[in-house]
Chain A
């Protein structure tokens, strides 16, 4: 009997449809499970990465540590899709957007409970973990209080 090698494919849980299952930053998914959206920071040179990376292109170190995307980001731009690619039709309408946290930016979706007329460029938003109806995980931007 040959022993089957277990594949760490945690990343298949990311988003409505994940196109990647294996990555060296698979812990990102565990943090999402804990309600945290995390980026990485190079332990050698301090370079901050979001989305998280396993490797630093500046000093070639693969020693990275996790940090939490916390606080407010400023909405740089967004667009609400009225037409979706294959596999995402049931999510319509939804908005993609970019938040600026100063040291890094975050690309994601705006929470579906934010009406489009309340979305203003330049507004502060926060990034929170979101569980999709089928158990998949992503993160969304919500208005801050």
Chain B
């Protein structure tokens, strides 16, 4: 059987307080992807709708979206793996196409987080952890990742200044990404200024500037069989490697606190399937829900040895001109993190990079790109390798 390609990508702007309903939000990402693919809704054989549950009143959004987007009577379903939902959606689309069941599948991710308060949202995010044994202690995502930051700093000497440098890079590119939520420059001085909001404590050692923000957004990928991809598209981007893994939801079941096992396992699978090594990757999108997460990702993906992730950011090797450009669209830290839409946005960026259409974010002639998308606190991990 042949290859599977991505023939259309789209996303809404990521914003606070989207002034519309979830179906209207979904339409924005879908429309851009469909215009990019230059196909019509009848060309789509099935749709997979992805988000993290409990932010909306609407149960089972797949049917509602399929109708609004003109995708009935084709089959549709809802899929979630928290923040990595769209990457998992792409994996499912790949298997639906490889099996021969469908030729063209739309993967649509969305999240409208602004309908609830930030504290309520933290509570829901916290309940993406173990609600029986951990949530009763008052957990939230920044606190969990902060434990990983603390362990990494202790073992490898990673500094708060290194974390700030990740945010500074993120802001460099957030400023040139018209879809990003935060488009202002950030300096390391802001982190050392106790009066500046960026330095405000959230959960030690993480500060406000170390954390991504909630956002509303949608993203969409149009995935097609090799034959359809070549019929419809002048410039399909091929799925070369897919990796996915899961880990213990309870931190008591984890052996590693200086990296994410799911990322390491998913990366290994994806590299093997694609027949490439970390040095072959020309551009990457990693799940920087927190600054420390990007440093962990450098190491888990093999861009740096364990403990040496900080050197990559200090030497600016992950900037656009560096050895391995990472998150040159601003990442989650600048774009905002509308959970179910994030993976699709990361994949969109890599597709645009490989097509040479990333505008001010374009790196020089990349041939192979990688997407690292994590759900929960390293609960789910997806790594996707794409090529021209």
Contact = CB atoms under 8 A, between A and B. Distances in A.
Interface of A: 11, 14-20, 23, 50-51, 76-89, 91, 94, 96-98, 104-109, 116, 121-122, 138
B203 interface: yes
A73 to B, nearest CB: 11
B203 A83 contact: yes
B220 to A, nearest CB: 31
B266 to A, nearest CB: 22
A108 B252 CA distance: 9
30 contacts: A14-B136, A17-B138, A19-B127, A19-B131, A20-B131, A51-B130, A51-B252, A76-B151, A76-B257, A77-B147, A77-B148, A77-B257, A79-B150, A79-B205, A79-B206, A81-B138, A81-B140, A81-B143, A82-B202, A83-B122, A83-B142, A85-B123, A87-B138, A96-B138, A96-B147, A98-B257, A105-B251, A108-B137, A116-B204, A121-B151
Nearest to A19: B131
A105 B122 CA distance: 25
Nearest to B131: A19
Interface of B: 117, 119-120, 122-123, 126-127, 130-140, 142-144, 146-151, 154, 201-206, 250-254, 257
Contacts of A11: 132
A7 B215 CA distance: 40
A105 B252 contact: yes
A134 to B, nearest CB: 13
Contacts, number: 121
A4 B117 CA distance: 38
Contacts of B257: 76-77, 98
A105 B146 CA distance: 18
B137 A105 contact: no
Given A98-B252, A98-B257, A105-B253, A85 B139 contact: yes
A51 B253 CA distance: 9
